[in-house]
């Protein structure tokens, strides 16, 4: 017996039940269609509103920081460490060959000289050659920011960079063979002529914290602006070392670690590198650095007045696609 028998006479109750059945038969298909159209989760539960931002985030993933993959490759790939160790293992045998040949020099600044100095040296860059600054680059990616000189300075002053795989072993090997290691870097002394700048002290502290012994009797850490006239071109500093040492090897991650006058367009840089193709892997050892360098500036003409969007547009213009 239904509730209608208590509320209505039998005839009215029958009419009421029929009316309710007709209403429900029309309502349930509409309700089920709404559920199908507006739910994707289990048990037909309505889609939670917090999934919409996730879709937006997914859609904008292609607009991630342009250095994301370069930094990830440097920090996480086995390939990066293996490439660096391959080069530093190779360079030990090259060093032995260079030591045995009194006429061997890796510095163009020393070519054409008569008698080369008896003392021997290798010149190494610091950043991404000896010290790993990928944490600084990674922070730029995480913060979604471009390079910032003030932030870079603070990172340098912290003196917390680790060594590049294989670099410390190579330096110890060279020093064990009686070879002096000069660190020629474009870290900035900031005040021209300041040979004891904050960045110099922090860099020395960082190198020494990794177990590298710097001589007290001679300055072997040569930064930009440490002496008046020492700009970003390292030729003057190589020439200074060449006055007293036979330079056996140049080791770096940028074309400027080997040649002067390289801040030109990509085509000219390629020509310059090819002119000395016999030096690569012999007197000149280039390490991989996909994160930054003079190669990147060459893509947009080193124009610091361009906006980020303009720089990216100029970079993309250098891509060679499969349809070109």
Q: Could you read off the pLDDT of 172-222 as tens digits, one per residue?
A: 999 999 999 999 999 999 988 888 999 999 999 999 999 999 999 999 999
Identify the burial level of 207 via C-beta atoms within 10 angstroms of its C-beta, where 0-12 means exposed, 13-18 middle and 19 or more buried: buried
Report pLDDT for 324: 62
Same domain for 192 and 256, yes or no, is yes
Encode 53-121 in three state secondary structure.
Answer: HHHHHHHCHHHCCCCHHHHHHHHHCHHHHHHHHHHHHHHHHHHHHHHHCCCCCCCHHHCCCCCCCCCEE
In a domain, 297, yes or no: no
In a domain, 316, yes or no: no
Residue 56 has pLDDT above 50, yes or no: no
In a domain, 312, yes or no: no
Same domain for 12 and 136, yes or no, is no
Instruction: Indicate the number of domains in the chain.
Output: 2
Same domain for 108 and 243, yes or no, is yes
Q: What pTM, to 2 d.p., does this model score?
A: 0.81
Same domain for 52 and 77, yes or no, is no
Distance CA 4, CA 11 (A): 10
In a domain, 322, yes or no: no
Same domain for 112 and 242, yes or no, is yes
Same domain for 274 and 235, yes or no, is yes
Same domain for 27 and 142, yes or no, is no
| Domain interval for residue 16 | 4-59
Mean pLDDT within 243-263? 97
Among candidate residues 59, 78, 98, the one where a domain is terminated: 59
Report pLDDT for 273: 97
Report pLDDT for 323: 87
Same domain for 9 and 122, yes or no, is no
Q: Say if residues 313 and 277 touch (Cβ distance below 8 Å).
A: no
Distance CA 83, CA 35 (A): 56
Report pLDDT for 179: 98
Same domain for 23 and 144, yes or no, is no
Summarize pLDDT for 291-311 with one digit per residue, the tens.
999 999 999 999 999 998 999
In a domain, 85, yes or no: yes
Mean pLDDT within 82-86? 98
Q: What's 144's DSSP letter? A: T
Distance CA 94, CA 100 (A): 10
In a domain, 315, yes or no: no
Same domain for 99 and 159, yes or no, is yes
Kindly report the average pLDDT of the chain as a whole number: 85
Report pLDDT for 48: 42
Distance CA 184, CA 129 (A): 11
Distance CA 293, CA 274 (A): 19
Tokens 């040492």 belong to residue: 245
Report pLDDT for 47: 41
If you write DSSP's letter for every residue of 160-208 in order, what string do you get?
-PEEPTTHHHHHHHHHHTTPEEEEEEEEE-SSTT-TT-HHHHHHHHHHH
Report pLDDT for 312: 92
Pairing of strands 131-132, 246-252: unpaired
Q: Say if residues 77 and 150 touch (Cβ distance below 8 Å).
A: no
Pick the residue with more confidence: 153 or 40? 153
Read off the pLDDT band of 9 (50, 70, 90).
very low
Identify the burial level of 305 via C-beta atoms within 10 angstroms of its C-beta, where 0-12 means exposed, 13-18 middle and 19 or more buried: exposed
Q: Say if residues 97 and 155 touch (Cβ distance below 8 Å).
A: no
Summarize pLDDT for 92-127 with one digit per residue, the tens.
999 999 999 999 999 998 887 778 999 999 999 999
In a domain, 34, yes or no: yes
Same domain for 131 and 78, yes or no, is yes
Token duo for residue 310: 């303009």
Among candidate residues 37, 59, 81, the one where a domain is terminated: 59
In a domain, 211, yes or no: yes
Same domain for 96 and 126, yes or no, is yes
Summarize pLDDT for 35-51 with one digit per residue, the tens.
333 333 333 334 444 44
């Amino acid at each position: 017996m239904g509730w209608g028998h208590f509320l209505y006479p039998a005839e009215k109750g029958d009419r009421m039940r029929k009316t309710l059945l007709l209403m429900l038969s029309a309502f349930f298909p509409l309700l089920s269609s709404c559920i199908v159209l507006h739910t994707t989760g289990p048990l037909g539960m309505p889609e939670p509103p917090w999934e919409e931002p996730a879709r937006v985030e997914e859609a904008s993933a292609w607009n991630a920081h342009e250095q994301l993959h370069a930094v990830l490759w440097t920090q996480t790939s086995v390939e990066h460490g293996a490439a660096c160790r391959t080069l530093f293992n190779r360079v030990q045998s090259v060093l032995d060959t260079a030591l045995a040949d009194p006429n061997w020099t890796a510095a163009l600044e020393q070519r054409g000289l008569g008698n080369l100095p008896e003392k021997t040296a290798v010149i190494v860059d610091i950043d991404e050659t000896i010290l790993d600054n990928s944490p600084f680059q990674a922070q730029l990616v995480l913060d979604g920011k471009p390079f910032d000189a003030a932030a870079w300075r603070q990172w340098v002053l912290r003196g917390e960079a680790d060594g590049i795989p294989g670099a410390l072993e190579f330096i110890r090997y060279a020093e064990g063979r009686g070879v002096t290691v000069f660190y020629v870097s474009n870290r900035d002394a900031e005040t021209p002529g300041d040979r004891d700048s904050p960045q110099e002290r922090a860099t020395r502290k960082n190198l020494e914290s990794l177990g590298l012994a710097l001589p007290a009797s001679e300055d072997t850490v040569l930064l930009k602006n440490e002496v008046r006239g020492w700009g970003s071109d390292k030729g003057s500093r190589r020439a200074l070392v060449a006055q007293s040492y036979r330079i056996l090897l140049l080791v770096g991650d940028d074309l400027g670690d080997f040649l002067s006058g390289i801040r030109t367009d990509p085509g000219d840089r390629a020509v310059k590198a090819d002119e000395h193709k016999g030096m690569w892997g012999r007197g000149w050892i280039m390490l991989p650095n996909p994160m930054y360098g003079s190669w990147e500036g060459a893509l947009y003409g080193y124009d610091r007045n361009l906006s980020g969007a303009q720089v990216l547009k100029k970079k993309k213009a250098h891509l060679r696609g499969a349809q070109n």
